[in-house]
């Protein structure tokens, strides 16, 4: 009888609410641990995490199929460099080396992609005063040969950068990047001689390019 009583004492207790067994000697501050299995969904998440870890290690560290966090960070830093910096980047043991190419802002761009971007900047920011085809409204006509503040490319760049506050022309420096200003100024040079409908009367002096 004594042996039966001892064995009965060693049997795990049952929780009357869940009918689960208590873990012997696992009690703290009145809280007892039940000897039940975790829910299936938690087990599924655990196994899935382990499987994902193995796939991740194999893909990124053994097969090198994809950029690690450091490479992604370096690429994001490159993407954050202002557009006006023409860059050629190489990655070595020491990280990223940026080689910059100096841009000549005294010469208009002739690349179709740059002119298309310039046209977009013009439509967004300039057309409200100069109209969509540059024929002029509040601002002067940009399609004729007459210019109020000089018609050289450097003059156009200067006016866009610094503005003419007394005439309502704001300074775009700081609102547009140097490359965007270069692009829109280059696009404006393509408007000269296009003869849009209902152009504004000429203003200023006729600009004659100096002989080369």
Q: Are residues 22 and 60 in the same domain?
A: yes
pLDDT at 167: 85
Residues 6+ apart with CB under 8 A from 167: none
Domain range for residue 82?
Answer: 67-102
Which structure tokens are listed for 165? 């506050």
Q: Domain count for the chain, please give it.
A: 3
pTM (global) more than 0.85: no
**How far, in Å, CA of 143 to CA of 137, rounded?**
12
Average pLDDT score, the chain: 82
**Residue 109: pLDDT over 50:** yes
Q: Are residues 202 and 125 in the same domain?
A: yes
**How far, in Å, CA of 79 to CA of 71, rounded?**
12
> Which pairing describes strands 146-147 and 95-101: parallel, antiparallel, or unpaired?
unpaired
116 versus 8: which is more confidently predicted?
A: 116
Q: Are residues 117 and 201 in the same domain?
A: yes
Q: Which residue has the tokens 């005294």?
A: 106
* CA 211 to centroid of chain Cα atoms: 44
């Amino acid at each position: 009888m004594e042996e039966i009583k001892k064995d009965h004492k060693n049997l795990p207790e049952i929780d009357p609410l869940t009918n689960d067994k208590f873990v012997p000697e696992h009690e703290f501050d009145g809280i007892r641990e039940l000897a039940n299995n975790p829910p299936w969904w938690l087990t599924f998440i655990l196994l899935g995490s382990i499987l994902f870890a193995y796939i991740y290690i194999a893909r990124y560290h053994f097969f090198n199929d994809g950029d690690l966090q450091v490479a992604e960070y370096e690429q994001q830093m490159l993407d954050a460099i202002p557009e006006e910096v023409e860059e050629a980047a190489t990655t070595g043991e020491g990280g990223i080396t940026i080689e910059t190419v100096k841009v000549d802002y005294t010469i208009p761009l002739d690349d179709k992609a740059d002119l298309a971007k310039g046209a977009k900047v013009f439509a967004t920011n300039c057309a409200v005063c100069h109209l969509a085809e540059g024929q002029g409204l509040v601002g002067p006509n940009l399609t004729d040969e007459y210019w109020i503040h000089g018609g050289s490319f450097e003059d156009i760049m200067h006016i866009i950068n610094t503005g003419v506050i007394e005439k309502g022309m704001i300074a775009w420096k700081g609102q547009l990047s140097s490359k965007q200003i270069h692009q829109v100024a280059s696009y404006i040079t393509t408007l000269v001689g296009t003869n849009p409908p209902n152009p504004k009367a000429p203003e200023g002096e006729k600009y004659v390019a100096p002989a080369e």
